[in-house]
Homo-oligomer: A and B are copies of this chain.
C-alpha cells in the first residue's frame, strides 16, 4: 500500500482508557481518532478529535461513526459485532478485529470451544445452566471458577466455588448463563500480547507475568520471571491462538503456567489489554500504536523490549462512588524511571481502574543503557522493580488525607 499523511481517521467503539491511550499513541502519526461512548466527556474525549455520544448498541450512532472514519475498531467487548459489521459494510470501511472474532470471544464458552477445536490447551471446562449441574461439577472437579459466559470484566462475573452448597448463590451472582472451569493449581499467570497485521504477519511482545488479586490485575512484570522453556511454550501457544483469530489488531492472550511448566489459555481479549500497558515505556512500539497500525493495515512496529518494566494498576480505594481526586502524586512525579498514566475518569469507585504507573529499569552507566543482566533473565532486578512500582502505587490514594 502507499501510505500518505495526514493519515486516516480511525473510529473506535468505546472511549475508556484503552481508547484514550490509542489516541495518545497515534497523534504523532497524524492519525485522527473519533470515539463512540455513552458517557459525555469519556476518558478518551480530551485527547481525541471528537466523541459521538451514544450506546454501544445504538445503531444510529455506530452508523454515524462509520460514516465519518476510514477504518473502524473497538476497545471494549461490549461493542455490538452485528451493528459494527453492518455499519462497516454500508459505509465501505474496514473493521478490525473481525466482528466474528469478537462474537466468538464475547461468549467465554464459545471462545473456549473454539480453542479446543484448534487443539490449543485450555483448563477443563463445562457449560453450567442449573444449580444442580454446578453442584455436580464442583464435586467432580473439587472446586471451580464459575464464569458468566458474557459481559464479565475486571473480575465481575467470575466467582470461585469450592463448596457445592454455594452453587445456587454463585449461579445467581453470575446471572445464570455460565461456564465452570477447573481450579488450576498454577505456578503463575502470564500473558502474551499478540499482533496480527496485514498479509497474515504476526508478532508477539515479550511474555509478561501478571499478578491478580480478587480476580483483578494488580501488576504486570515484563519480561516474566520464568524459565526459558515456559517462555518458548507461551510464545508458541500465543502464535497458535493468533492463527485461530480473524482480523487485524492486538490480542491480549492470558495464560496459566502450571506447576509442571505447561501453558494453558485462560482468556483472550480482541484489543489492547491491561497486561500490555508496560509496552508504552518498555517496548519499542506500544501495544496501542501497534493496534492502530494493524487495524489500518500499516507496517507493524518492532515489539522488542527497551527495558524491563513493571506496571502497577491504580485502583479506586474508596468505600463508595465519589468524584475522583487522587493525592500522593508528588512522589511519583519526583521518582526517576516511573511514568504515571491517568485515565481521566470523573468518579472513583471501589477497585475501579483509575490509572497506572510503569517503573522501568533505570539507566546504569554513562551510555544511558539499562544495566540489566539478561543472562539470568535478571529476576532479582525485576523483584526490586516490582517492589518499587508497588511502593509508588501504594502512595496514591483517593481517600481524604
Contact = CB atoms under 8 A, between A and B. Distances in A.
A108 to B, nearest CB: 32
Interface in A359-377: 363, 365-374
A341 interface: yes
A355 interface: yes
A298 B335 CA distance: 12
Interface in A79-135: none
A302 interface: yes
B6 A344 contact: yes
Contacts of A305: 363, 367-368
A334 B1 CA distance: 12
A4 B325 contact: yes
Contacts of A306: 306, 363, 368
Interface stretch (A28-36, A61-69, A153-161): A28-36
Given A5-B326, A306-B368, A367-B374, A24 B28 contact: yes
A391 interface: no
Which of A306, A340, A365, A373 has most B Cβ within 10 Å?
Answer: A306
A258 B161 CA distance: 76
Contacts of A301: 333, 336
A1 B28 CA distance: 32
9 contacts: A4-B329, A5-B342, A46-B49, A47-B47, A298-B330, A305-B363, A367-B370, A367-B372, A369-B371
Given A5-B355, A308-B368, A367-B374, 20 more contacts: A1-B330, A3-B330, A5-B324, A20-B27, A21-B28, A23-B27, A23-B47, A24-B28, A28-B339, A29-B333, A47-B47, A284-B337, A301-B333, A304-B368, A305-B368, A306-B306, A307-B368, A307-B369, A366-B374, A369-B371
